[in-house]
Amino acid sequence: MTTTLPTADDLRQQAQDAARRCGVDLDALAGDHFVTSPVNGQPLSSVRWSTGADVDGAVARAVEAFRSWRTVPAPVRGGLVRRFGELLREHKADLGTLVSLEVGKITSEAEGEVQEMIDICEFAVGLSRQLYGRTISSERPGHRLMETWHPLGVVGVISAFNFPAAVWSWNTAIALVCGDPVVWKPSELAPLTAAASAALLDRAIAEEGAPEGLSQVLIGGPDVGEALVDHPGVALLSATGSTRMGRAVGPRVADRFGRSLLELGGNNAAIVTPSADLDLTTRGIVFSAAGTAGQRCTTMRRVIAHVDVIDELTERVAAAYRRLPIGSPVAEGTLVGPLVHGAAYKAMQNALEAAGQQGGELVVGGGRRFEDEAPDAYYAEPAIVRMPEQTDVVRQETFAPILYVLPYRTLEEAIALNNDVPQGLSSSIFTSDQAEAERFLAADGSDCGIANVNIGTSGAEIGGAFGGEKETGGGRESGSDAWRSYMRRATNTINYSGELPLAQGVKFTV
């Protein structure tokens, strides 16, 4: 695909218009820090940063909002989230534009991220009437045991560039119906998306008469994130990012007896068995591995293919890679946009070099596009590398479109390869054999938080809990019962007997 990248003026005007329609004046937001668009490598806007010192005030305002919000009935709290979802629908294209311009997602993926925000609002509205506890049988006559769930407190959210708004919305929609305010530190690479998302929620808060301070955004650098991590007023710290970041965040939150919810690295694999439908498998692999230019935490980074199908499968996927339209993410027909910055491209080249040194064979890709036209933008050709075994570079997560293809002979060997990495986020198997699928999903099968059959590793729906094991951090967000992380549990005993029998048959008479 040949294309001309948009001019800096065109992109700036698009950003101005989209932000304005969401309620953000970029001139009023301007400051000393520049936002660079990966689309052309040029400045998009400037922003004024908060500092770590601003966190105290934000948390104090959130605590004040919590005092009243926690007593509002949960279905009423759900009404605020419903209105927020309606505003997201109205501004889906605007937010999608900002996502594309700031992080380089193609239009369908950028608007798909906003759709996730809409979906989690719908889920949360229903959840607001389903924050269920349990009634438990008591061993004592005339007694009843039950569980109740109560709002937890201030939720701090630190989000990453690759999903600059959706992950915040997962936390925020659930937190709000659970009775919690949110203080958000977005990625430094996507402040305009954050400002626009927060402005829409602020509008919903004002329209619904909810307390000020329920939602706050602090655009800034690492010092803001560190202050949120260490603040004793933050009851739950939800952080999305690298495993290295999680190693720092987890112990610091635990040291102050706070809660942390960590969504960290992924090194996701698909097992392809001899019975797999290779047409379906190829489509599933290409989207999971090349979508978002390989910059999803659920990106497929490994294919573990049976020796009977590995050659044909590799040829099919490589042929699809050669046809992938690479170019401006806001241009019609593009499927692969840019990497977010030069450091990501350098990491990709370093990994490809290491793979070659460790016995890998580059099948396709790895080059760069538009270097002459936009020297500060980094459009990489998604790469496929055949590896004889799972080496050190394969076990590392490289946040770029590199797909390693590994051989296997027995399903037990394939599952062992799937699990033989430090990360444990997402996984899949392509098979037409039900026994193989069930074996993969069993307790001694995939050790990941997400295990799929006949679909790729990316594209999770909000109805299920999202998260992973091992160095992925163990957190769960979004659907299912992930809401419990945002609430505190109380066990209640009610004695209506008129007597005072003790549990376990204890006798204590005075």
Q: Which residue has the tokens 């490589």?
A: 318
What length is written for the chain?
Answer: 510
Q: What is the pLDDT of residue 509?
A: 86
What is the pTM (predicted TM-score) of this model? 0.96
What residues act catalytically? 263
Alpha helices in 420-484 (DSSP H): 434-441
* DSSP track, 53-100: THHHHHHHHHHHHHHHHTTS-HHHHHHHHHHHHHHHHHTHHHHHHHHH
Q: What is the pLDDT of residue 2?
A: 47
Q: Are 430 and 276 in contact (CB under 8 A)?
A: yes
CA-to-CA distance for 194 and 199, rounded, in angstroms? 8
Q: Across the 510 residues of the chain, what is the mean pLDDT of every consecutive 10-residue run?
A: 82 98 96 97 97 97 98 98 98 98 98 98 98 96 97 98 98 98 98 98 98 97 98 98 96 98 97 98 98 97 98 98 98 98 98 98 98 97 98 98 98 98 98 98 98 95 96 97 98 96 91
CA-to-CA distance for 478 and 348, rounded, in angstroms? 30
Q: Are 87 and 95 in contact (CB under 8 A)?
A: no
* DSSP track, 282-304: HHHHHHHHHGGGG-STT-EEEEE
Q: Are 3 and 327 in contact (CB under 8 A)?
A: yes
Q: What is the pLDDT of residue 3?
A: 63
Q: What is the pLDDT of residue 508?
A: 92
CA dihedral sign of residues 503, 505, 506, 510: positive
Domains of the chain: 52-264+473-489 (3.40.605.10), 268-461 (3.40.309.10)
Tokens of 207: 């329209």
Q: What is the pLDDT of residue 1?
A: 45
